[in-house]
Structure formats: C-alpha cells, structure tokens
Amino acid sequence: MSLKSIKTKIISVQKTHQVTRAMEAVSAVKMRKAQVAALAGRPYALHALSILRRVMESKVPLAHPFMRKSDVRGVVMIVITSDKGLAGALNSAVIKAAVREMSARGLTREDVRFITIGKKGYEYFSKRGFTVEHALTLREDRISHETLRETTNEIMRLAHDETMGAVLAVYTHFRSTMIQEAVVRKIVPLDPLALAETVRGILPEQGKYAELAGMSEAEETRAVEYTFEPSAQSVLDELVPFLLSVELLHAVLESQASEHSARMVAMKNASSKADEVAEDLTRAFNKARQGAITSEVSEIVGGVEAMK
C-alpha cells in the first residue's frame, strides 16, 4: 500500500471519529433528557396502576370489556422501536421478542394485528405481510399524551374487538445506562398479577426512585378496604382508558431512553474502534515511510559508491 493511500485512509478514519464522537455527545444529552422523563413518570404510573389493581381486587362485582378472558387466538401487538438505526441490537431485540411471542402462542399472520410506534418495527412487519392497523413515527423527542392520543384510541378500538383475545406491548425496558432489555407486557385482559408485575417493572433497579420498591411491596401486603364513589364500576370505567394512556406513554419514554443509551454506547465503541484503526494506520504509514527513506538512502549510497 502506498504512502498516499495510507494517508488518505488515516484522514478518512479521523473524520469518521469526529462524527461518531459528536453523535455520542448528542446521544448522551438526549439520553439524560429521556431518562429524566421516564424516571419522573415512574412514581405517577406506579400509583395509578396501584389504584387500578386495588379497584379490581375489591369485593364489588365488576364488569369491563378489558377484563374478559377469552380463548380467542387474535392478538393486538404494540411494537415500539426507534425511527433511526445506529443503536446497536436494540431494534432487532424488540422485533425478535415479538416474533418469539408469536411463536410461543402459535400465532399466524392472520391472528395478529400490529400497532407500530417507530419506523423500524413498521418496516419489518409490513414488508413481511403482517397487518399493521396503525403506525406512528416519532419525529420529536418530547412525547406527551397528546402525541399518543390517536394511537391510544386505536388500541382501545382494537381491544374492544371480540376477535382479539389479548393486547400485548413489546418494547425496551430501561434497566440502566448500559443495560436495556426487550420485554413483553400484557395490557389486556386486565389481571391483578400482571398489573403487579408491571408495577414492579416500572421501578428502576438502582438510583433515583429505587427506594419506592420497598414502599410498593409494603402497600401490596397491606389489606386496605376502600370505599368508591359513586361506585367501583364508575371508577373502573374512567380509570381504564386513562391507565392505558399512561402505560403506553411510559413504554415509549422507556424505549426512547433505551434508544439514546444504546446509540451513545454504540457511538462510543465506534469512536474507540476508529482510534485503534487510526493508530494501526499511523504505524503502517510510519513503517512505510521509514522503509522508503531507507531505500532512498541505500540508493544514494549505492550511487556514490558506484561513482568512486
């Protein structure tokens, strides 16, 4: 390899390194913002889900379309991915989790209706002939209930469909900056045990809000008799749509925090790799240049000797 080609590669790698370092810095800032939003919403979602669980565990007979248990095979699957790549294995992990869940339930294409949040999930399932009832592309970092209103309404519509036996959410659970994992959460039919699992999953394993884990466990073991006004049924009817919106928002916020964390780590690894490649190329350049200098000196010495 010539000195010129090696030097060109060094310059190219250095430019790539500058880009990945910049993307790493941007992802770090976005991750912190998304992490704060996700963590700040956790106590709120925790208590809201706890209220719903208490209502469902009351001794008053309740009836709600989302509480029916059915043998119907149909499933609504909410798949939350990112719009962009360069996030390591984050998107593929979510897609694989959705495919595994379908396989475990023995579902065919006709049994599943997808709601996708994020371009990557939509591209995967739509290209493979699955029915995508609703697709949302997140073009902004600040996500609110208003952003997800249409998606929430579509989920409610499909959940009322008697051909659908369950609603599942597949997304990335943010455990820490370095660890994210794809999870499958059951949203419908409503079940106290599933709600308790969701409540525990909302809490971080360490750091801010982690102390709420003890409070949550204490509340679960406390037998409290509630009086509902005007009735437990009316409370349930108002609470269920609201809780669905809260769960969806929290899942999206967690996915965003996970996305930016994964991208930050991926860009950090890419920057480190670019440094290694640049060092190897620099050594190769110095070695080649030293060889060229030695060759030129040898030629000069040989010429001088020949002239004697």
Task: State the residue for tokens 């060229």.
Answer: 292
Which one is predicted more confidently, 161 or 213?
161
Percentage of residues of the chain with pLDDT beyond 90: 24
pLDDT score of 221:
47
Is residue 76 domain-resident? yes
Q: Which amino acid is at 41?
A: G
Give the chain's domain count.
Answer: 1
Is residue 100 domain-resident? yes
Is residue 7 domain-resident? no
Q: Which amino acid is at 174?
A: F
Taking residues 160-165, report their average pLDDT.
Answer: 85
Kindly calculate the radius of gyration of the chain based on its CA atoms and give it in whole angstroms.
28
Which one is predicted more confidently, 40 or 29?
29
pLDDT score of 196:
60
Distance between CA atoms of residues 19 and 267, nearest Å = 9
- Over residues 76-133, the pLDDT tens digits come to 999 999 988 888 889 999 999 999 999 999 999 999 999 999 999 999 999 999 999 9
Beta carbons of 219 and 21 less than 8 angstroms apart? no
Supply the mean pLDDT for the chain. 81
pLDDT score of 223:
46
User: Which of 179, 222, 183 is closest to 201 using CA atoms?
Assistant: 183
**Domain residue limits at 121:** 27-263
Distance between CA atoms of residues 64 and 90, nearest Å = 36
pLDDT score of 78:
96
- Over residues 197-238, the pLDDT tens digits come to 665 655 555 555 555 555 555 554 454 566 777 777 787 788
pLDDT score of 112:
95
Which one is predicted more confidently, 220 or 165?
165
Is residue 288 domain-resident? no
| C-alpha torsion angle, residues 178, 184, 185, 187 (rounded to 10) | 140
Segment 120-123 long-range contacts (CB within 8 Å, at least 24 positions apart): 120/81, 120/82, 120/83, 120/85, 120/91, 120/95, 121/79, 121/80, 121/81, 121/91, 121/94, 121/95
Q: Residue count of the chain, please give it.
A: 308
Is residue 191 domain-resident? yes
DSSP E strand stretches across 147-299: 164-174, 180-188
- Lowest mean pLDDT across 64-68, 149-153, 215-219: 215-219
pLDDT score of 248:
87
Is residue 287 domain-resident? no
CATH assignment at residue 136: 3.40.1380.10
Distance between CA atoms of residues 243 and 91, nearest Å = 26
- Structure token digits, residue 276: 């290694």
- Spatial neighbors of 142 by CB under 8 A, at least 6 apart, are none
Question: 6 falls in which pLDDT band (50, 70, 90)?
Answer: confident
Which one is predicted more confidently, 248 or 93?
93
Distance between CA atoms of residues 209 and 142, nearest Å = 22
